[in-house]
Every structure is written in C-alpha cells, then in structure tokens.
C-alpha cells in the first residue's frame, strides 16, 4: 500500500510537467499582421514591416483596423478596397469588400485635414490643385515627409492629353495637416488607410482605384456651376461617378472618358 501511494504521488507530480512539455511542443497559431488567424504574411507585408513607421502603425493602429474589419465581416487575406474623394465633402471615403463577394460597402471616412486650390482639375505644376479624375495607388512610401503616404499615378494619360507641357506630379494621400495639392488625412488617418492598402495589395489587389470628384456629379450640382469652364470635363467624369453610385463597383477604365477641358 505504501509503495502504491508513493507511485501515485510521483504520477501527480509529473502530470503538470507533462502538460507543460506538451504545450511547448504545440506550434503557435499564426496570425496575420492585422490580427486575424491565418498563414504567415507574404513578401509584401514583410517588405513593408522593415520600416519603423509601418511597424509602429501595425502595433498601435493595427488592432483598431482589425476590429473594424471584423465588424464588417471582412477578411484581410481577401481584402479589396476602393478610395473616393468628393472635394466639397472634404473627406476620403474608404470602401471595402472581400474578393468575389459582391459590391463595395463603405468602411470608413477620413476628414481631409487641409485643402488647397479650387474646384477643377490639376493642369500644371505649381497650381496647388488637387487632381480630379480616375487614378490608382502606384507607390507606398513608408518614409514620407508626412509620416506615411500613398502615391497616385498622376498625371495619367488623360492628364497628359489635356494638361500643359509640365502637368506636375507627386500627388499623395498622406499624414499631417498641410497640403499644396495632396490629400492630408492626419497621421492617425494615414496609418489606418496605409495598413488597409498594404493588406489589400498583399491579398492580391494589383490596382487600388482612387476616384476624385469636385462635387457629387449630378445634374443639380452641375447646374449650380453652369458658367464654369470645366463643365465639359466634369460631364466626362459623370460616367464613372454614376456607375459607382448605382453599382458600388468601380467602372472599368475602358468605360471612362474625359470629354474636354
């Protein structure tokens, strides 16, 4: 009986140790950069995380972005986004969806911290104008003078066709609160949008559209500005504006036209 008691005591003492060993041999659950369970992120995330500001955004703002995606039933591994600015609304709209899951839905809006220029397209370097038209993100800048920034492919083909010999360039969505033609949304705002854009690109979205309009492009708003020299240009943008309003889907670039200055 004494031997049996000693044997049982040894078993009980060893049991917690065996549990600990079993746990230590179990591989940890891998998570995505935005906090959801999934495989290790791909090379684009890893390339971006080499930069201090992106790591800081991931640590500080990443959980907020992850919670927002979960609330909208969005999976960062399947994320697609669409960005839109209506100048008179003074905000950047971020629309999102899961790949192959129907139309975009509004995820969040970010107030513009500053604006410059006036209603109408950008046509030359130094005019302080924010462009108007159909663009896409073509650069991720994790070392921006304005915290983080996302570059637009301005000037595009339409800008080069309609603009002056030097239409300018380097138009960004960025942090901070100043602008001479870009779209500042504060440092906190750009951290969220930057992480969303990185997630979308890492999930396979090669083209992230950015549509910029002067005001809601409908007949009522156009009639208010009937004397503007930009009437024909704005009417050329109506196709893309109306298509998105009706379908919450970005029109193919082939459908979009610009009909004059």
Active site residue ranges: 174, 182
In whole angstroms, give the CA distance from residue 169 to residue 154: 6
β-partners of residue 174 are: 149, 184
**Residue 100 · residue 171 · CB < 8 Å:** no
CB-based burial label for 141 (10 Å; 0-12, 13-18, 19+) = middle
Distance CA 147, CA 142 (A): 7
Interstrand relation of 209-213 and 79-86 (parallel, antiparallel or unpaired): parallel
Angle, in degrees to the nearest 10, between helices 62-71 and 186-202: 60
Residues in the chain: 261
């Amino acid at each position: 009986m004494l031997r049996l008691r000693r044997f049982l005591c040894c078993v009980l003492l060893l049991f917690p140790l065996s549990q600990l060993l079993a746990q230590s041999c179990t591989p940890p659950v891998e998570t995505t950069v935005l906090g959801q369970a999934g495989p290790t992120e791909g090379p684009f995330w890893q390339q971006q995380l080499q930069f201090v500001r992106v790591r800081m955004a991931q640590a500080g703002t990443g959980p907020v972005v992850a919670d927002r995606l979960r609330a909208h039933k969005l999976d960062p591994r399947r994320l697609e986004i669409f960005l839109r600015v209506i100048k008179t609304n003074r905000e950047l709209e971020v629309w999102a969806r899961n790949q192959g899951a129907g139309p975009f839905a509004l995820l969040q809006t970010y107030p513009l911290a500053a604006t410059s220029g006036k209603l109408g397209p950008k046509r030359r370097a130094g005019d302080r104008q924010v462009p108007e038209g159909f663009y896409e993100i073509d650069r991720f800048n994790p070392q921006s003078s304005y915290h983080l920034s996302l570059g637009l492919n301005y000037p595009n083909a339409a800008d080069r066709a309609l603009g002056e010999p030097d239409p300018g360039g380097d138009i960004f969505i960025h942090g901070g609160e100043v602008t001479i033609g870009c779209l500042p949304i504060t440092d906190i705002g750009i951290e969220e949008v930057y992480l969303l854009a990185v997630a979308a690109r890492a999930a396979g979205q090669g083209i992230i559209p950015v549509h910029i309009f002067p005001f809601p492009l409908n007949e009522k708003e156009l009639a208010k500005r009937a004397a503007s020299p930009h009437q024909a240009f704005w009417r050329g943008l109506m196709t893309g504006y109306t298509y998105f309003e009706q379908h919450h889907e970005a029109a193919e670039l082939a459908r979009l036209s610009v009909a004059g200055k």
